[in-house]
Structure 1
Amino acid sequence: MRAVLVAGAVSLVVALFGTPLYIRWLVRRGYGQFVRDDGPTSHHTKRGTPTMGGAVIILGALLAYGAAHLFTGTPVTASGLLVLLLMTGLGVVGFLDDFLKISRKQSLGLRARSKLIGQGLVGVAFAALALQFPDEDGLTPASMHVSFLRDVDFLDLAFAGAALGTVLFVLWALFITSAISNGVNLTDGLDGLATGATTLVLAAYVLICTFQSNQNCNTLTEFEARCYEVRDPRDLAVVAAAVMGACFGFLWWNASPAKIFMGDTGSLALGGALAGLAILSRTQLLLVVLGGLFVIITLSVVIQVGSFKTTGKRVFRMAPLQHHFELAGWGEVTIVIRFWIIAGLFVSLGLGVFYAQWVVGA
């Protein structure tokens, strides 16, 4: 547990005190946000606000993870490093997108195809590596099962053989990674909205992975039927705490009125961290509940685009959903707080379902 506390504390300090230094550096370089002209007019005042702040979150999490293991003298694990690899890799893709926006002085960065290819390469590398590195019991960081609260036996992706099973797992993991990273990216439209919502989900994973560690099949002496077959649950909790602490520190400067935006650097990285935690903790479908706010916002875009292409009419005044309420006259802070409440309710529901399943032993 000490490693979890150290990771959260170190990343909080790094992000809290490192972000203003990074802001000053970005201002000197003229790296400011460009705002869409077709968006809410209230956003025009944000033009020029420093962006690419996600780099601080990534750096803070990496330093905190290393510090936690150095302080406690425990070795790093394959699972922890894989989640950090996915987070950092997607952060690099987002950084390239943000940098192109700045250098071209417009709100368009990487082309959609290039962005998807970058996300795909990182996701495939993560998925392929996650099936490697078995421990002494033969347990790998990921398994070729679809999971909800734990692996679902009858949803075995390897049913057609090892080779096809590997391909199916990679495609499944790639879908999860792309879906959640783009979901967080779509949510990142108002000051502090995505940062705060992601922090809540990360807090849930600190609790879930810590609980899995205490009820792990390798150490549990009672309630064996309810134990969790997760390779490195305690280290996954350390990673979740490291990223959560960095988000807390960054939110101090990202809350309205934001002094810095996380940009695609942060949103893609945070989505990658959530996806990695869900896949390696065997809670893939539970993430749909925990990240319910991201799902709703993503669906608002899907509905808007689908409706316009099929009927020529828009369901919302603007998508993603948070901008619909902006155009309806809601204040930005009001929207952010109410959406945080919704995110918190989804997280509470997800944690309740997770714990209830263990209690009943089903």
Structure 2
Amino acid sequence: MNEPSILAAIVAAFVLSVLLSPLFIPMLHRLKFGQSIREEGPSSHQKKSGTPTMGGIVVILAMVLSVLLVTFFFTDLDFNYQIGLLMLVTIAFGLVGFMDDFIKVVLKRNLGLNSKQKLLAQLVVAAIFYFVLREYEFSTVVQIPATGFSVDIGILYLLLVAVMLVGASNAVNLTDGLDGLLAGTSAIAFGAYAVLAWYAGFPEVAVFCAAVVGAVLGFLVFNAHPAKVFMGDTGSLALGGAIAAVAIILKMEILLIIIGGVFVIETLSVIIQVIVFKWKGRRVFKMSPLHHHYELSGWSEWKVVVVFWLCGIVFAVTGVYIEVWAI
């Protein structure tokens, strides 16, 4: 594999993201696509009301353009079905998020799409993704990392695909609550999968992951505290669907639980909070997702973000080590 293609994808996506963001931010301001802040959120977040959202458009555009450029200029790469599927899932989930954001900021319905509408759209994308995979005789065997154990789950693989795509997109969406939090943690997670894709001999998938890393790092320039633009559901749902699709294509499905450990913990904090509150009538955390708990415990927003980034690095390194060691 030609390693320069990975570096080229990161650099191209980063540059495109940095160049596109200053063009989109004023446009979002003019269109009054400002984020509405939930009243039940931390009071310190109310000052962020009106900050442009839907910045995920920039991330998706930078990623798509850089992948096209790199696969065109590096002759040892092919725009194969894997790249096509990854881009399809990313764009499709991004469109779901865009509709959600549009309803929130333009139609002034703060909750956006209702849960049934969002779930149905996500399941449709997951079903298309699965059936395209099956057309290419994609294996339905699931392997347990660091063990020799594997099992062919047959038609149940459709259920696994649906759970992963829907679960990951919503988990990543929950993590998008502080300036720079999602941009940093997603860059780390996709970086880990880029390494694994390269190591396992999936150059096109490695380039895709590298392009995502570059795109979100470029976006982070404008999304770091204090954020000039938010990713919105447009970006968070796209990134969540994309990382689940990468894990599936690489046949590293279970490993996503480790590499995406921050996203998993954020989701578990919400589930635990809801269950305990309904059962006992009290809260385990001051507020969920977990990053809000630390905010209300007196941590600065920047401190919470940096600590979560460090946790993401630990999870990513652990996941890479487990998979490489297993191979």
- TM-score normalised over the length of structure 2: 0.96
Matches within 5 A, 1:209-288: 209-213=197-201, 233-288=202-257
- Contact 1:12 1:249 (C-alpha < 8 Å) held by counterparts: yes
1:156 alignment partner in structure 2: 152
Shift of 1:3: 2.5
Matches within 5 A, 1:1-362: 1-73=3-75, 74-133=77-136, 140=137, 142-149=138-145, 154-158=150-154, 165=155, 168-213=156-201, 233-358=202-327
SS in 1 for 2:288: coil
**Residues of 1 paired with 2:149 and 2:125: CA distance?**
27
For 2:108, the aligned partner's letter is K
Larger Rg: 1
For 1:8, the aligned partner's letter is I
SS in 2 for 1:298: helix
- TM-score normalised over the length of structure 1: 0.87
- Structure 1: which 5+ runs fail to align? 134-139, 159-164, 214-232
**Residues of 1 paired with 2:47 and 2:65: CA distance?**
34
- Residue-pair matches, total: 324
SS in 2 for 1:315: coil
RMSD across aligned positions (CA): 1.4
**Residues of 1 paired with 2:147 and 2:249: CA distance?**
11
**Residues of 2 paired with 1:150 and 1:11: CA distance?**
33
**Residues of 1 paired with 2:148 and 2:34: CA distance?**
46
SS in 2 for 1:131: helix
**Residues of 2 paired with 1:151 and 1:103: CA distance?**
50
**Residues of 2 paired with 1:119 and 1:152: CA distance?**
33
For 1:145, the aligned partner's letter is V
Q: Which has the larger displacement, 100-109 or 278-287?
A: 100-109
Q: What do the CA deviations read for 1:227-250 (whole angstroms, capped 9, x no partner)? A: xxxxxx111001101111101100
- Contact 2:146 2:325 (C-alpha < 8 Å) held by counterparts: no
**Residues of 2 paired with 1:120 and 1:207: CA distance?**
29
For 1:46, the aligned partner's letter is K
1:224 alignment partner in structure 2: none
**Residues of 2 paired with 1:236 and 1:152: CA distance?**
24
For 2:14, the aligned partner's letter is L
**Residues of 2 paired with 1:283 and 1:356: CA distance?**
14
